[in-house]
A = this chain, B = another copy of it.
Amino acid sequence: MVSANLGAMNTHNTPSFQTPSSFVTFRLARLQSSLNAQGAALLKSKSGLSLVEWRLIQTLRMIKNASLTEIADHVQMDKGQLSRKIKAMVEKGLLRTETNKRDQRIQHLTLTAEAEKLSAEMMPFMDARQQHLLANVSVEDLEVFYSVIDKIEAASKFRGDA
């Protein structure tokens, strides 16, 4: 399937000097860099939230009372980072923690009214952004896009087998 990948390279805006190796990952890294910058700028301008804060808020809207570990699994984020971020967000008045009665190791997290409010205010802008990002992508192509992400993500879990 190498030829596949070379074919794709020649038909897109691939610079002719691009090495085959790490082309996909290179493109994805560059894309991620742009998306992060855009998302962070939008969030900062409309609310005072960071990208990480936004993602945690949205995750907690999906998984009510999630614990740190549950969030970490869901967003694939480091637990150390999460621990510190949660602490900061509690101090900022965005989250509340509640210790599990049966297992005192676990802290359940809930959004404060302030966090809900910021989320609601910000949501239209974030939805519009997503619309904009996908404006020229057909439903079928998006379907394929997600399926390729799934495959690459599954393959990216393996270590040491090349």
Contacts and interface: CB of A to CB of B under 8 A. Distances in A.
Nearest to A58: B19
A17 B74 CA distance: 12
A101 to B, nearest CB: 25
Contacts of A104: none
For A130, A147, A158, the residue with the greatest tally of chain B CB atoms inside 10 Å of its CB is A130
Interface residues of A, number: 88
A113 interface: no
A76 B33 CA distance: 7
Q: SS class of chain A's interface: helix, strand, loop or mixed? A: helix
Contacts of A37: 156
A28 B25 CA distance: 11
A129 to B, nearest CB: 6
Number of copies: 2
Given A1-B139, A74-B7, A21 B134 contact: no
Contacts of A27: 146, 149
A151 interface: yes
Nearest to A70: B7
A112 interface: no
Contacts of A36: 29
A36 B33 CA distance: 13
Given A28-B32, A32-B32, A125-B162, A133 B152 contact: yes
A134 B68 CA distance: 32
A25 B130 contact: yes
Contacts of A92: none
Contacts of A128: 162
